[in-house]
Amino acid sequence: MNDIGEFTLLLALATALYGCIAYVMSARGNRIDLYLSADKTPFIVWVCVTISSICLWKAFLTDDFSLQYVWAYSNRELDTFYKVSSFWGGQKGSLLFWTLLLSTYMLVVYFQNRNKNLRVVPYAMAVMLVIVVFFLFLINFSTNPFERIPLPPEDGRGLNPLLQNYWMVIHPPTLYLGYVGFTVPFAFAVAALISKDLDDGWIRMTRKWTLISWFFLCMGNLFGASWAYVELGWGGYWAWDPVENAAFMPLLIATAFLHSVMIQEKKDMMKVWNMSLILLTFAMTIFGTFITRSGLIQSVHTFDEATLGYYFLAFLFVIITACATLIIARLPLLKSTNELDSFFSRESSFLFNNLLLLGIAFATFWGTIFPIISEAVRDVKITVGPPFYNQVNVPIGLALLALIGIGPVIAWRRATLSNLKKNFLKPVLASLIAAIVLFPFIPLGNRAEIYTYVTFVLCAFVVTSIFTEFYKGTVSRMGLHEESVAGALTAMTWRNKRRYGGYIVHIGVVLIFAGIAGSQAYGTHTEKHLQLGESFEIRGYTIKYEKLVAIEATSIKTRIIAQLAVERDGNRYWTGHPEKEFYKGQNQPVSEVDVLSTWKEDLYMILADFREDESATIKVYVNPMVSWMWTGGWIIAFGTMISMWPDRLEQRRRLDRIRKQEQLFPSPAQE
């Protein structure tokens, strides 16, 4: 089976190589025979990569420790659930998983666009195949997951205990779905540049792909934060680690792209900008992979055998150089009319939104690479950690939050003074009321608290501006169609899915902002060493240490569980069971926290230490509003789903547009 896996990887590489050459030659030479031949390669590549992946999964599930990769990331005692996820637990498997997703995406694109736009699609397929070739080359010749051990050991080394968590089963695939997804708009953008077909066709063809990838990347980041929160046991969810940054940067740039692309669709402007943004987004996904696999920047997430950095750096260099050359060569064709009616318009607000999003992305990138710069310039190693990112990114983030509120209420093309007064009155009033109401209750003793106060006021501004939009639309529809409130609201949202779906996403973003602000500024924690029966108080909760239990969960895992009674106003409120897990052969035990999560706050418990006399050190955090962030994530998911839902009206408009084009430029047959 392992031989089959290895062979199919080689076959996939050869087919992909042939495919990209054949696609390019067919497009350049108008060779239909070559095109038909090339058109079979995405399917063959997908079949080969899928077979290879199945072989690796089978090796994990059957404990085949003759494979070095299976030995390094699995063992006999590992739960089947985690044996499946061990596939992407290390560098070799993660690259194969990336290739599997990429070839699957490529297959879907192939079926979606078969016999459509024969000027652009062959080049797009060729670009995707080039990327597949790069990954398959690495897998085949540098980091082969089917590498054998001459004398297979009895048992494996096992999966890192920190990765044995359900979020780690969901988080990497979600993130990869986002990372890999951006290959599709990137490929179509490059194809448009090569084929000189530079209208907004490539944007329309890839709009849903961009949204889907953005959604997965967003959820991947949130799932990663959830994993850090419940598994790392430090009471936080985001540490500005280089690899977290690497997942965050493409998300920011893609968000900028999603906004600015609307201006191109509406006004045929900013073609060069949009092209650059999508290329930069893709480059950032490769940069993220470079960070994880280079070992050049110290990170919690770096793979054990991070040896592929220079391949990715070279690939990144080739991508950036090729794309920049293509854009420069096509500049005359990318010229757009670029006219604006007024400085005060939604178009301008989108441009400033792009500036702020890229500002945060740049600050994050700068912080990530500054240790390398410092070492190169001064020969001094330094660390750039959370204090830097918090101090630099928070003010920019607040300006961005304000723009989320300004965007919906400022008119397209031209905002007059009366129009601004009318639209801004309610949101500004709401924020003023919020500022006055919150002032007596919120401490303003340090900068974090002041920022949080400003965040809450801005959240009130944004939410009011969005709800005003929903209110105005619903009322006008009720008047026109004599519908109920619910009916009008649903019909309005359904008929303008993209617009109102976007607003719902913004509400989710506001909740995330509020959650971050609340948890960062008003959290508290304490650490106590307790004997059995002792208790302590934290923010109205009485925590009583009741018992300590040791359980031999498996032959390699021992669980030490503390039982903590939580009382409020003299009544038993909840029972927490934080624990420490000891794995055979691992230096450090793993903390399994227990969290009582409510809308107001999280009571977060950690068993920090214990002794033979059954005394234990208990650490308790009270983190306000953390659940707001997770709720925000689900609202973003809901909003994105609405935005992406197929729109019959849009399809009809597209057909009308095609018909009009056909009337303007009739085909030879019609002539």
Partner 1 sequence: MHTIKMMTILFVFVWVSAGQVSGVEAGVLLEDLENQLMCKCDDKCGKVLINCTCSTSDKTRAKFSKMLESGITVEQIVKMQVDKYGETVLSAPTKFGFNLTAWMTPFVALVAGGFGVRKVLLAWVCKKVKLILSMRLLLSQKFQKNIPNV
Closer to partner 1 at the Cβ: 382 or 437? 382
- Alpha helices, DSSP H only, in 113-234? 121-141, 166-181, 183-195, 201-231
Distance between CA 664 and CA 651 in Å, rounded? Answer: 20
Mark residues 1-40: x for contact with partner 1 by CB under 8 A, - for none. ----------------------------------------
Residues 6+ apart with CB under 8 A from 669: none
DSSP for 539-560 reads TTEEEEEEEEEEEE-SSSEEEE
Q: Please give the angle made by the CA atoms of 97, 281 and 466, to the nearest 5 degrees.
A: 110
Closer to partner 1 at the Cβ: 77 or 609? 609
Neighbour-count burial of 418, counting CB atoms closer than 10 A to its CB (0-12 exposed, 13-18 middle, 19+ buried): exposed
Residues 6+ apart with CB under 8 A from 67: 2, 56, 59, 145, 146, 147, 148, 149
- Residue 447 within binding range of partner 1, rule CB under 8 A: yes
Candidate residues 3, 33, 154, 339; the one interacting with partner 1 per rule CB under 8 A = 339
DSSP 566: E
Candidate residues 30, 325, 446, 575; the one interacting with partner 1 per rule CB under 8 A = 446
- Residue 383 within binding range of partner 1, rule CB under 8 A: yes
Encoding tokens for residue 216?
């997965």
Mark residues 353-382: x for contact with partner 1 by CB under 8 A, - for none. -xxx-xx--xx--xx--x---x--xx-xxx
Distance between CA 261 and CA 273 in Å, rounded? Answer: 9
Encoding tokens for residue 177?
């779905």
Closer to partner 1 at the Cβ: 343 or 441? 343
- Residue 236 within binding range of partner 1, rule CB under 8 A: yes
Candidate residues 112, 325, 391, 555; the one interacting with partner 1 per rule CB under 8 A = 391
Which span (58-66, 86-94, 117-125, 383-391) binds partner 1, by CB under 8 A? 383-391
- Residue 463 within binding range of partner 1, rule CB under 8 A: no
- Residue 108 within binding range of partner 1, rule CB under 8 A: no
Closer to partner 1 at the Cβ: 311 or 583? 583
Minimal distance in Å, beta carbon 640 to partner 1? 27
- Residue 608 within binding range of partner 1, rule CB under 8 A: yes
- Residue 386 within binding range of partner 1, rule CB under 8 A: yes
Encoding tokens for residue 448?
């974090």
- Residue 606 within binding range of partner 1, rule CB under 8 A: yes
Task: Kindly identify the residues of this chain, within the stretch 514-543, that bind partner 1 according to CB under 8 A.
Answer: none
- Residue 153 within binding range of partner 1, rule CB under 8 A: no
- Residue 348 within binding range of partner 1, rule CB under 8 A: yes
Encoding tokens for residue 341?
């009616």
Mark residues 240-269: x for contact with partner 1 by CB under 8 A, - for none. -x---------------------------x
Minimal distance in Å, beta carbon 299 to partner 1? 6
Distance between CA 91 and CA 289 in Å, rounded? Answer: 10
Closer to partner 1 at the Cβ: 83 or 259? 259
Q: How far is CA 121 from its chain centroid? A: 27
CB atoms near residue 52 (< 10 Å): 27
- Residue 343 within binding range of partner 1, rule CB under 8 A: yes
Minimal distance in Å, beta carbon 374 to partner 1? 7
Q: Please give the angle made by the CA atoms of 657, 661 and 662, to the nearest 5 degrees.
A: 115
Cβ proximity of 204 and 262 under 8 Å = no
What length is written for the chain? 671
Candidate residues 332, 440, 445, 540; the one interacting with partner 1 per rule CB under 8 A = 445
Closer to partner 1 at the Cβ: 10 or 396? 396
Candidate residues 609, 614, 615, 637; the one interacting with partner 1 per rule CB under 8 A = 609
- Residue 582 within binding range of partner 1, rule CB under 8 A: no
Distance between CA 352 and CA 359 in Å, rounded? Answer: 10
Candidate residues 588, 598, 651, 661; the one interacting with partner 1 per rule CB under 8 A = 588
66: helix, strand or coil: coil
Minimal distance in Å, beta carbon 210 to partner 1? 23
Task: Kindly identify the residues of this chain, within the stretch 275-304, that bind partner 1 according to CB under 8 A.
Answer: 298-300
For residue 350, give the amino acid letter. F
Distance between CA 536 and CA 551 in Å, rounded? Answer: 26
What is the SS3 assignment for 353-385? HHHHHHHHHHHHHHHHHHHHHHHHHHCCCCCCC
Task: Kindly identify the residues of this chain, within the stretch 179-208, that bind partner 1 according to CB under 8 A.
Answer: none
Minimal distance in Å, beta carbon 543 to partner 1? 19
Cβ proximity of 399 and 363 under 8 Å = no
608: helix, strand or coil: strand
Cβ proximity of 409 and 465 under 8 Å = yes
Q: Please give the angle made by the CA atoms of 433, 447 and 252, to the nearest 5 degrees.
A: 85
- Residue 622 within binding range of partner 1, rule CB under 8 A: no
In DSSP terms, which residues pair with 574 in a beta bridge?
566
Candidate residues 387, 533, 570, 668; the one interacting with partner 1 per rule CB under 8 A = 387
- Residue 234 within binding range of partner 1, rule CB under 8 A: yes
Closer to partner 1 at the Cβ: 151 or 376? 376
Q: How far is CA 618 from its chain centroid? A: 34
What phi and psi, each to the nearest 5 degrees, are found at residue 308? -100, 5
Candidate residues 385, 443, 479, 666; the one interacting with partner 1 per rule CB under 8 A = 385
Minimal distance in Å, beta carbon 569 to partner 1? 26
- Residue 395 within binding range of partner 1, rule CB under 8 A: yes
Distance between CA 579 and CA 573 in Å, rounded? Answer: 20
Work out the widest C-alpha separation in the chain, in whole angstroms.
95
Minimal distance in Å, beta carbon 465 to partner 1? 22
Q: How many residues line the site for partner 1 (CB under 8 A)?
A: 56
Closer to partner 1 at the Cβ: 194 or 606? 606
Which span (245-253, 393-401, 489-497, 506-514) binds partner 1, by CB under 8 A? 393-401
Distance between CA 456 and CA 435 in Å, rounded? Answer: 8
Distance between CA 427 and CA 406 in Å, rounded? Answer: 9
- Residue 384 within binding range of partner 1, rule CB under 8 A: yes
- Residue 137 within binding range of partner 1, rule CB under 8 A: no
For residue 343, give the amino acid letter. F
Closest C-alpha to 506, from 543, 470, 453:
470
Minimal distance in Å, beta carbon 617 to partner 1? 8
Q: Contact residues for partner 1 (CB under 8 A)?
A: 232-234, 236, 239, 241, 269, 298-300, 338-343, 348, 351-352, 354-356, 358-359, 362-363, 366-367, 370, 374, 377-378, 380-388, 391-392, 394-396, 445-448, 587-588, 591, 606, 608-609
